[in-house]
């Protein structure tokens, strides 16, 4: 059995890299770490794809966005990424940012029956590509 220590990074498709970059860098405390990767840049160009890498400070990239105009993703509520925030005040700051951008969000977990740790709350919203994000704080 392999015992994972923690998730190292998440890769997902987007339609517009620049719009997605603006969304993630304005909303989260992430640093843009690179465009493409030296090992895959030629293959990405040949397939009309490109990548942006973002770091939360743990790795070179904690999130990788891959631009792909040919892939449609099912954005059902089961498919999402979830973040546990470092403190509850961060959740209110995200709510304020979303409200200032007229970005819709809703209270609660993605799956209504999922329990929340005592003293926490959750919100859910979509990025510009329709990917669901759940924040717990």
pLDDT tens digits along 23-73: 999 988 888 887 776 555 555 555 567 888 899 887 778 888 888 777 776
Same domain? 62 vs 94: no
Query: Does 16 map to a domain?
Result: yes
pLDDT of 130 above 80: yes
Same domain? 14 vs 62: yes
Same domain? 63 vs 14: yes
Same domain? 20 vs 64: yes
Same domain? 32 vs 58: yes
Same domain? 60 vs 84: no
Query: Does 74 map to a domain?
Result: no
Same domain? 49 vs 92: no
Domain that holds residue 38: 10-68
The stretch 105-115 carries a mean pLDDT of 89
Query: Does 1 map to a domain?
Result: no
- pLDDT for the residue 69: 72
User: What does the pLDDT look like over 70-89, one tens digit per residue?
Assistant: 777 666 666 788 888 888 88
Contacts of 132 (CB under 8 A, 6+ apart): 75, 77, 79, 80, 81, 110, 124, 125, 126
- pLDDT for the residue 5: 65
Identify the CA nearest to 66 among candidates 23, 133, 129, 135: 129
What average pLDDT does the structure give for the chain? 83
- Whole-structure pTM value: 0.80
């Amino acid at each position: 059995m392999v015992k994972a220590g923690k998730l190292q990074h998440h890769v997902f498709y987007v339609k517009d890299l620049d719009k997605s970059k603006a969304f993630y860098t304005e909303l989260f405390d992430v640093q843009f770490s690179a465009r493409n990767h030296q090992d895959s840049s030629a293959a990405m160009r040949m397939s009309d794809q490109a990548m942006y890498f973002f770091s939360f400070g743990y790795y070179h990239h904690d999130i990788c966005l891959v631009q792909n105009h040919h892939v449609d993703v099912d954005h059902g509520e089961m498919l999402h990424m979830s973040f546990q925030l470092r403190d509850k005040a961060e959740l209110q700051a995200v709510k304020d940012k979303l409200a200032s951008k007229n970005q819709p969000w809703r209270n609660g977990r993605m799956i209504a029956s999922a329990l929340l740790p005592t003293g926490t709350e959750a919100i859910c919203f979509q990025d510009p590509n329709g990917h669901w994000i759940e924040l717990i704080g």
